[in-house]
Amino acid sequence: MVDGGREVCLRLFGDLDADARDELRRELYDAVHDNAAPQLVVDLRDTTFLDSEAIDAILEGFLLARQAGKTPQIINARGVVRTVLLVTGVLDLFGATAESSARLGGGPGAAVLPLPSDGRDGPAGSLRRQST
């Protein structure tokens, strides 16, 4: 927990691929449900690789956060990780503010990528699962 309990931060490191997917899903689920913080932050500063399985797990965690009334963010996506998010089009789903990253210890100007609105007024609606 950071920022006086207003945020829960999940700091990811190393290579995140299919082998890390299930554990990442569990950690994101716990981060969403095991606290009352209104914001979920995923810090990718020490992440060296991110594949589609990990991206899917992060997006699922963000959907859970939205459903729980939390605001999800990704911070510090850099190098290969940022490139993967950009090339896959995932980066386009996020906006950036330096203030949140600085508040979380990322320093001024570090990339912060919050998930867009809940779909009623932006592209995040494409991330929502349709009920059948």
The pLDDT value recorded for residue 3 is 65
Pair 66, 32: CB distance under 8 Å: no
The mean pLDDT value for 77-104 works out to 66
The pLDDT value recorded for residue 2 is 66
67 is written with which tokens? Answer: 């459903």
Share above pLDDT 70 across residues of the chain, in percent, rounded to a whole number: 64
Each domain of the chain, given as residue ranges in start order, spans 3-118
The mean pLDDT value for 26-31 works out to 95
Residues 6+ apart with CB under 8 A from 1: 7, 8, 9, 35, 37
Range 3-118 has CATH code 3.30.750.24: yes
